[in-house]
Structure 1
């Protein structure tokens, strides 16, 4: 079965366009040619109505993506003359089978979209999951729901435009779910309130599979599904890691880990999240959930952690900073706590020890620990070339005098200054 060059070229462009629709790269999204941008009026504001936005987004993705196969056929009929001049009897059979399967896929997408849109999205899998979690939550989770619902009410009072939608959804949800005691809209309002009010929430992952962590909820939003679970109900299982030498977002090797999330609520199915190893450490701190590492997977340190270790190793090769009394005897150096972390003692001092003309003499008293100063130093280097960070320079945090690693010395005997 031969295809003319015109039809082959059309197929290549259509497949490329379909790929950009399903998985749009950053450039396409920045240009405004993504589903989220083109249908922004229908989807609404993600931060003001996170759950509703995700329900509408996944439903719309299913509908549009299911129409792509049959769209290929009809576009080929309109844009090429293959089906009029080159179609053989054998090809008719295959194309009939293709069109039949494409129509079934499109019909499935339309049915899902209609089903998930009626009754205020109550039949969407996310709404069903939230309803089960609200009905089967423990007393601790129920109290959290109540607190967050109250927070949602206060947020609605500050945003009158969204309060009408929330109240109408609550009334309709309670009318349909009297048997469960708590409707899914209450849990949805709790999630929406935290997403709107919390500015330091954890966000990670690529555009097609994002991860959010708030005070009480862990959320994963992929192309067709959304998983939302209460943090107090979950435990994590570290299942795999993968080392990538090159990614679209970084020119350097990265380590990605896969974590399986389990909930004690039997109605919530386990799901996987994938993120960078350095983000995994922050995720663990945010969740405070037990992690099972049955496969004994060893994770590498992040670039920042490795630089801190290399920075401290470089300081160990420099001469230590010594303090002498008026009589000429060595004595302890009185220091304060580090102003960066307010935990460690200020154990380093800038003392010019290199021959580089750009580096100057710093007369500031010790105010930083080695860890915080190394983070300050690395933050002022070229982030695309971490292999040359140790050779770089940075300004003193206080007087802005330039220094390099050779100009940083450990304090020989730091003692906390107890004078007020």
Structure 2
């Protein structure tokens, strides 16, 4: 293989692993972000300034990597006698590409140098903050305090990091830190795409109860379709000078983002947002329990007090009672607890105790009562009426 081709292939592979690191390198902190994070302020102390430094360093690092590729390839071709035998048209095309790459790299370095002047005064994020407050550094310190709170919602991906605080939406991309206020934005879903992922092997073991096996067959189980739905949300601020931006996130993170925001994300195209695996199971759980016999109790019974609330969510009355009903006494055991959980919370508890690699067998599984640890299956769950 030609030395220049070998160098270009190896260099591209190394750079690709740094810029788009696989999970193995991410777990070992062998990424470009991890290498650059040691420079500048720490994220937990000054979120805004940390990511302003990170975007500046990332821009400079990408420019240097591009220059390294051009310099290495050009050096190997210059010392190769066979390069002179290459048709002139190809030589001119390669030279034009090299010149364009060098101009682009030095332009990126010039921007990075300008952003670093006066402690980030010319950084795009500083301009965004200045649109909200003339003293943008004081506003940055206030946002830093919100980012240190435990109730922040953080969504990480290879493309960006999204942080939702009590008042602010922050998204850090390679070369920018987008900032917008909750009460100042209009958010709308632009579209979605479905990405296939590798299927995980299912467990071989099945529940010994033939009733549950038939039940899982008729309901179709809770098998995953092995796809991921990615949603693109457009964010536009009403304040002049704030740059609009797009958020791309997994549909499973959508509910957490929506719950944290004080504004509504418009869905004008009526795009169906895929539920999480746990939410899909709870739906199947409720449908299955609705086919079981009910557990009648008068309102005056001591089993169900009129002012009781579910101990899990404290939002709904406890309407789930575990009564051993299945035909495999070795698997399930009697439960003598009074109703303390709503059906939704009991369904989430049941799902959390199942094997995540065998989703098609969840309806066949068992769990322990969250109060007394008695083993039960779906046939044992009754709705209190």
Structure 2 counterpart of 1:337, from 306, 309, 325: 309
1:220 paired residue number: 171
2:219 paired residue number: none
Using the TM superposition, name which of 342-351 and 87-96 deviates more: 87-96
2:45 paired residue number: 48
Q: Return the offset for 1:248.
A: 10
1:238 paired residue number: 189
2:71 is the alignment partner of 1:120: no
Structure 1 counterpart of 2:347, from 363, 374, 393: 374
- Larger relative contact order (Cα-Cα within 8 Å, sequence gap ≥ 6): 2
Alpha carbons of 1:397 and 1:189: their partners in 2 closer, same or farther (altered >3 Å)? same
Inter-partner Cα distance in structure 2 for 1:405 and 1:341: 21
1:405 paired residue number: 378
State the TM-score, normalized to the length of structure 1: 0.79
Q: Return the offset for 1:383.
A: 2.2
1:189 paired residue number: 141
Structure 2 counterpart of 1:310, from 284, 287, 298: 284
Inter-partner Cα distance in structure 1 for 2:153 and 2:198: 22
2:323 is the alignment partner of 1:351: yes
Inter-partner Cα distance in structure 1 for 2:43 and 2:199: 25
Secondary structure in structure 2 of the residue aligned to 1:300: coil
Q: Return the offset for 1:311.
A: 0.6
Alpha carbons of 1:116 and 1:318: their partners in 2 closer, same or farther (altered >3 Å)? same
Inter-partner Cα distance in structure 2 for 1:366 and 1:331: 11
1:163 paired residue number: none
Structure 1 counterpart of 2:358, from 385, 389, 393: 385
Using the TM superposition, name which of 310-319 and 116-125 deviates more: 310-319
Residue pair 1:70, 1:99 contacting (<8 A) in 2 also: no
2:59 is the alignment partner of 1:62: yes
Inter-partner Cα distance in structure 2 for 1:288 and 1:40: 32
1:142 paired residue number: none
Inter-partner Cα distance in structure 1 for 2:282 and 2:345: 9
Secondary structure in structure 2 of the residue aligned to 1:354: coil
Alpha carbons of 1:232 and 1:247: their partners in 2 closer, same or farther (altered >3 Å)? farther
Inter-partner Cα distance in structure 2 for 1:225 and 1:25: 23
Inter-partner Cα distance in structure 2 for 1:71 and 1:199: 42
Alpha carbons of 1:324 and 1:261: their partners in 2 closer, same or farther (altered >3 Å)? closer
2:291 is the alignment partner of 1:291: no
Structure 1 counterpart of 2:4, from 2, 7, 10: 7
Q: Deviation string for 1:219-246 (max 9, x for gaps)?
A: 1111112101111111211110122231
Q: Which has the higher helix share?
A: 1
Alpha carbons of 1:81 and 1:293: their partners in 2 closer, same or farther (altered >3 Å)? closer
Inter-partner Cα distance in structure 1 for 2:9 and 2:110: 29
Inter-partner Cα distance in structure 1 for 2:325 and 2:181: 54
Q: Return the offset for 1:205.
A: 3.8
2:16 is the alignment partner of 1:23: no
1:86 paired residue number: 82
2:96 is the alignment partner of 1:97: yes
Q: Which runs of 5+ in 1 are unaligned?
A: 135-181, 414-420
Q: Return the offset for 1:81.
A: 6.8
Q: Deviation string for 1:94-144 (max 9, x for gaps)?
A: 34323322221221122112101111110000011111221xxxxxxxxxx
1:273 paired residue number: 247
1:361 paired residue number: 334
Q: Which runs of 5+ in 2 are unaligned?
A: 201-223
Q: Return the offset for 1:308.
A: 1.4
Alpha carbons of 1:256 and 1:40: their partners in 2 closer, same or farther (altered >3 Å)? closer
